[in-house]
Amino acid sequence: MSSILTVEGVNKNFSGLKALDDVNLVVEEGSVHAIIGPNGAGKSTFLNCLVGRLVPDTGTVLYYGNKPEGETLFGLPPHAINQKGISRVFQTPEVFEDLTLFENAMIPVMAHLDGSYRFNSWGGVLSRGEIADAAEHILSDVGLLEKRNMHSGSLSRGDKRRLELAMCLAQDPKLLLLDEPTAGMARADTNNTIDLLKKIGEERKITKVIIEHDMHVVFSLATKVSVLARGHIIAEGAPQEMKGDARVQEAYLGGAHL
Amino acid sequence: MNMKDNILVLIFGAVILTMPLWAGIVGAGYPDLLQKFAIFGLFAIGFNILFGFTGYLSFGHAAFLGIGSYTAMWSFKLLTMNAIPAVLFATAVSGLFALAIGFVALRRSGIYFSILTLAFAQMCYNMAYSVLTPITNGETGLTLTATDPRILDAATTEGLPSTELFGMGLSGYNGFYFCAIILIIGFYISVRLYRSSFGLMLLAVKSNQNRMKYTGLNTKPYLLSAFVISGMYAGLAGALMVVIDPLAGAERMQWTASGEVVLMTILGGVGTLLGPFIGAIVIKYFENIFSAFNDAVLNQVFGFLPDFIQGIWVSFASLFVGKGWHLTLGVLFMLIVIFLPGGAMEGFRRIAAKFKKEKEAHSAGGAE
Ligand SMILES: Nc1ncnc2c1ncn2[C@@H]1O[C@H](COP(=O)(O)OP(=O)(O)O)[C@@H](O)[C@H]1O
Ligand SMILES: [Mg+2]
């Protein structure tokens, strides 16, 4: 398998605090790579370095989604990074709360077809049939088609997450980053989200990097797990190996058994 | 645009064009006032494309109004008294200014954006009084003179010329119809923008910029386009002001004028298609009524009261009328923001919903 993302020697300090300390990581194409670790371990900082939102003090991140020789994403604005095929799901679902689900779904479809800016003011948004079709398609993929005319602000957290995932998928990304996709969800919503992510995984080969707190989610989805503690990757391997690893339990679970 | 929008534009057009026939009933049947309705309505509709669609509140749109007026005046002075070139130049030039000002102001959002636009507008206002006097004629204001070159039609006019449209004078109701037709076109464009994919992107900017950026969309050009378009509407409105009355003064660019269009938009309903226009009409209508009141009229109104009470009432009420009309406007504005934050359009919606409920209750009662 070839890698889609390689991280080498990444360091990041916040005014003296070492948030990331010489992090090395390879994300294989098509894998579901979970990054776990206690609060304050540097997981979000790491994700932000991956998408160029933060620029590390030293080290490199190379993305192989478009070019075989890889490219660096540092300093690019978020929309440019997204246009390269990297989508992101936020810890708190970010959707267009004032718009209907259908409108929410049309926007990423247009971003995918038209690029980062297009001024086509004259045709009505519904006059391009392919946009409406694609939007309906992705809504039905995540089971939200009946709610298409509702405003997304009135959705439950689980449904917002569904919508957000649908919007990411509408762009047909190569790499999907998920920052605690089930944080703050009830058990039922968590299970629904796991099922949805599994279904997506079966239908499309999208590489995913998941930051997650919930072990149930990690072991249901991940094909590989890296453990981050105090800015350092302390262990890495298949989920089953990680379950029994003493270092992981020490650092992450405070010695408790899984 | 769907069928409903076409009908909306048609009804809007019909209502505007028949205004001279029925506005007299509510005491608004003067061409001056109707012209104001059309011009400020257009200004507010354009302002709403920025403020209503994207949520970016500009406090400096009067600058474009002034720029449009000056440009149109220069078109009259240098080229021709025909209103068409004046209107076109004004729209284009204010668009260019909006591009430059918007480019800088949109580096910030929220309150900082508002402050930047306010600062730019005040700069334009001050410059019109100082260094730009050769262009703006400073405090006197820019007027037509008999010696203007008017290279296209100087030969055909004598004395102090007046604005025209291919030979037709534009005073009185002619002027109103000219403004009204441009207003209807402006309204039509705003409806189309609203329904277009571009319009949807503007609404998305208002709703969640972060999600927008992480959806691969660059918010800057969308915002700048909206800023330029609304600046062009303002410039067009400024041009219409001098088509009606060929005198351009810098006070038109003052911050109070920028604030007024904000009030109109909020009063009518931010982000709705018709609301800003309704807000403009309401403000101009009541301004007309309230500012016409003076102490003599008030004394008449309260004449039935005993003298000393009459005196108190008159001096109290006179705070709110005539020059004090802005106090009334302030009170009205506060009431709207507190009790009806969606403006007049929300009021209509609530009333419609209530009627619907009552009707349903009735028909349910009848079925029993
Ligand atoms: N922008 C920032 N400025 C200063 N310190 C930060 C910043 N972002 C994160 N940190 C610190 O870096 C450490 C790692 O944070 P974070 O990456 O958010 O951890 P996690 O997501 O694993 O909980 C924490 O100690 C946090 O306080
Ligand atoms: Mg975090």
The confidence band for A258, taking pLDDT boundaries of 50, 70 and 90, is very low
Task: From B216, B209, B333, B163, select the one nearest B263 (Cα to Cα).
Answer: B333
The confidence band for A254, taking pLDDT boundaries of 50, 70 and 90, is low
Q: Do A124 and B192 touch (CB under 8 A)?
A: yes
Tell how strand A17-28 and strand A3-14 pair up.
Answer: antiparallel
Question: pLDDT tens-digit profile of B148-160?
Answer: 888 888 776 677 8
> How far apart are alpha carbons A16 and A11 in whole angstroms?
12
Half-sphere exposure of B24 (CA within 13 A, CB side): 4
Cα separations in angstroms, B290 against B145, B283, B325: 35, 10, 6
Q: Do A77 and B213 touch (CB under 8 A)?
A: yes
Point out the ligand nearest to the CA of residue A91. 2
Domain B3-288 listed as CATH 1.10.3470: yes
Which is more confidently placed, B320 or B259?
A: B259
Question: pLDDT tens-digit profile of A27-59?
Answer: 999 999 999 988 888 999 999 888 878 889 999
**CB-based contacts of B234, cutoff 8 Å, min separation 6:** B43, B46, B47, B61, B62, B64, B65, B68, B94, B98, B261
Task: From B205, B216, B201, select the one nearest A87 (Cα to Cα).
Answer: B216
**Residues β-bridged to residue A211:** A35, A179
Query: Would you list which residues of chain A are within 8 Å, Cβ to Cβ, of chain B?
Result: 77-79, 82-83, 87-88, 90, 94-99, 103, 106-108, 110-112, 114-126, 128, 131, 164, 167, 171
Give the sign of the dihedral formed by CA B6, CA B11, CA B14, CA B16. negative
Query: Which range is most confident: A243-247, B103-107, B255-259?
Result: B103-107
> How far apart are alpha carbons B67 and B203 in whole angstroms?
28
Q: Do A125 and B213 touch (CB under 8 A)?
A: no
Q: Do A96 and B207 touch (CB under 8 A)?
A: yes
What's residue A257's pLDDT?
A: 41
What's residue A212's pLDDT?
A: 86
What's residue B241's pLDDT?
A: 97
- The single-letter DSSP state of residue A97 is T
Question: Pick from B2, B197, B219: which is nearest to A110 by CB?
Answer: B197
> What is the pLDDT of chain B when averaged over all its residues?
92
The confidence band for A251, taking pLDDT boundaries of 50, 70 and 90, is low
Name the least confident of A149-153, A181-185, B264-268.
A181-185
Do residues A181 and A208 touch, judged by C-beta distance below 8 A? no
C-alpha gyration radius of chain B? 22
C-alpha gyration radius of chain A? 19
Tell how strand A71-72 and strand A86-89 pair up.
Answer: unpaired
**Domain boundaries along the sequence of chain B:** 3-288, 291-368
Question: pLDDT tens-digit profile of A143-168?
Answer: 999 999 999 999 998 899 999 999 99
Which is more confidently placed, B29 or B100?
A: B100
Is A37's C-beta closer than 6 angstroms to any atom of ligand 1? yes
Q: Which residue from B minimizes the CA distance to A108?
A: B215
| Nearest CA-CA distance, residue B169 and chain A, Å | 34
Task: From A113, A97, A202, select the one nearest A151 (Cα to Cα).
Answer: A97
Tokens 């004598």 correspond to B158
> How far apart are alpha carbons A41 and B290 in whole angstroms?
66
The confidence band for A213, taking pLDDT boundaries of 50, 70 and 90, is confident
Q: Which two tokens stand for residue A236?
A: 């890495």
Q: Which two tokens stand for residue A19?
A: 């948030």
Whose CA is closest to atom 27 on ligand 1?
A40
What's residue A255's pLDDT?
A: 42
* Confidence check: pLDDT of A108 > 50: yes
Tell me the mean pLDDT in the region B293-303.
Answer: 77
How close is the Cα of B289 to the center of ligand 2, in Å?
Answer: 60
Q: Do A96 and B193 touch (CB under 8 A)?
A: no
Mutate to test the pocket of ligand 1, among A14, A15, A51, A252 (most ligand atoms within 8 A of CB): A14
Cα separations in angstroms, B149 against A141, B144, B213: 69, 10, 52
Q: Which residues of B touch A103 (CB under 8 A)?
A: 200, 203-204
> How far apart are alpha carbons B58 and B113 in whole angstroms?
7
Predicted ipTM? 0.90
Q: Which residue from A minimizes the CA distance to B205?
A: A96
> How far apart are alpha carbons B123 and B119 in whole angstroms?
6
* Confidence check: pLDDT of B81 > 60: yes
